[in-house]
Amino acid sequence: MTRDSAATSVDAVLAELFAAAADICRDRSPLTQRLLTDAAADLAAGGVTARIMAGAERDREGTVPGLRFAGAVHRLVLEGRAPALAKHYPSVGGRPDLPRLWEDALPALTEHADVLRHRVGATVVQTNEPGRSAPLYGGLLVAAQEAARAAGRQVPFCVRLLEVGASGGLNLRPHRVGYRLGDGTVLGDPGSPLVLDPRWTGLPPADLTHRLRVVGRAGCDLDPVDVSTADGRLHLSSFVWADQLDRWKRLRAALELAAADPVPVDRSAGPEWLARQLARAERDVLTVVWHSVVWQYVSPADRAMGRAVLADAAAKATPTAPLALLVFEPRREVDHRFALMLKLWPAGISLSLGVGEGHGTPFTWNVTPWE
């Protein structure tokens, strides 16, 4: 195979990943779908997108190179560096004209190709979607009450929340968020700057009159985002699909809450950090290990190490110092939707609590065994 044919081959594979990312956006973000569809065709033809994606040709599918490209382009718009393209982006007041989108994108891509290539290569997808706090909150209520029931306690456990892959830590404040149900009831904190519409079908299998008591929070990430800085806020904003204004508003409110209630996120690999955190148990506290939409970015080696760390801690859990794993991750067996899954030790409880969309809402509560 010649060098030119090899380049064509890897560009074709990358074009397929862009097309797959475009399909993810179908019916959710017409703007992002059209951008990635046209970029995939440009990649396959060896156009400017191939120059921007140079060095990413052999990236794993789980790193979602297409969404990294879309995020880099969106950031260019947010920075005011692509005014002709901005008129298509609702996040800055524009209105998409999809047939003309690529025509207006090409000059910006060509002018800023080096900047875009650097950003694509230097970043990972980090939506840190605050909407995921809705299923998390319900799952924590279930975990705290089930652990108490197994221990013969009348009052639910307080919770210590440990998040792996926390990004900017926006989901480390589930008790500080409001959740407005269909009947007008607001769970959590009704005075929060972030009040979510969880769009629940059914309800968590828990007594919703009990407030969630969080007594400790910590998170880690290989590339944590400092949401106290303008750069950090811009970074997270760039990964919100620009025509999803409800998500845009949620992020703005979540950033306001983060400013009022800061929680630092440690720069660390998950297994090592988790081992340090789980080295100490707290009496009368339920320790909850949590992650959401992060598993695809974790290497097989780190996955195995993380399981081993958790298994060691689970073996040491006691009724007065229980341990839980609560995760919101995609499951192929539920038609690529995202499942909220709970394990409790030493109670031996293992449940799938329901399924929903990747951004946390809507969500359907449906308890089945987690096998």
**Residue where one domain finishes, among candidates 122, 139, 165:** 122
Based on the fold, state whether residues 151 and 208 are members of the same structural domain: yes
Domain residue limits at 55: 3-122
Task: Please check whether residues 112 and 69 belong to one and the same domain.
Answer: yes
Predicted local distance difference test score (pLDDT) of residue 333 = 58
CA–CA gap between residue 324 and residue 287 (Å, rounded): 6
Identify whether residues 115 and 93 lie together within a single domain: yes
Q: Does residue 106 sit in the same domain as residue 213?
A: no
Spatial separation of the C-alpha atoms in residues 41 and 33, rounded to whole Å:
12
Distance of alpha carbon 204 from alpha carbon 210, whole angstroms: 12
Same domain, residue pair 90 and 188: no
Residue 16, pLDDT score: 93
Q: What is the pLDDT of residue 8?
A: 52
Tell me, yes or no, whether 94 and 145 share the same domain. no
216 with 251, same domain: the answer is yes
Output the CA–CA distances (angstroms, integers) from residue 106 to 38, 42, 67, 113, in the order listed.
Answer: 10, 10, 18, 10
What's the pLDDT score for residue 2?
41
In order along its 371 residues, the chain shows pLDDT tens digits of 343 444 455 678 899 999 999 998 988 999 999 999 999 999 999 999 999 999 887 787 778 899 999 999 999 999 999 999 999 999 999 999 999 999 999 999 999 999 999 999 988 888 899 999 999 999 999 999 999 999 999 999 999 999 999 999 999 999 999 999 999 999 999 999 999 999 999 999 999 999 999 999 999 999 999 999 999 999 999 999 999 999 999 999 999 999 999 999 999 999 999 999 999 889 999 999 999 998 888 888 999 999 999 999 999 999 999 999 999 998 865 566 899 999 999 999 999 999 999 899 999 999 999 97
Backbone angles phi, psi at 162, to 5 degrees: -120, 115
Same domain, 72 and 92: yes
What was the pLDDT predicted at 297? Answer: 82
Residues 164, 301: one domain? yes
Query: Which residues does 370 contact at the CB level (< 8 Å), separation at least 6?
Result: 341, 342, 343, 350, 351, 352
Residue 352 main-chain phi, psi, to 5 deg: -100, 120
On whether both 175 and 96 belong to a single domain, the answer is no
Looking at residue 124, its pLDDT comes to 85
* End position of a domain, from candidates 70, 96, 122: 122
Are residues 366 and 355 in contact, defined by beta-carbon separation less than 8 angstroms? yes
Single residue among 122, 148, 181 that ends a domain in this structure: 122
Residue 46 shares a structural domain with residue 144: no
Pair 66, 146 in one domain = no
Q: How far apart are alpha carbons 76 and 70 in whole angstroms?
A: 10
User: Total domain count for the chain?
Assistant: 2
Exposed, middle or buried: residue 300 (CB in 10 Å: 0-12, 13-18, 19+)? exposed
DSSP 309-351: HHHHHHHH-BTTB-EEEEEEEEEGGGTTEEEEEEEEETTTEEE
Cβ atoms of residues 46 and 8 within 8 Å: yes
Q: Cα–Cα distance between 141 and 353 in angstroms, integer? A: 12
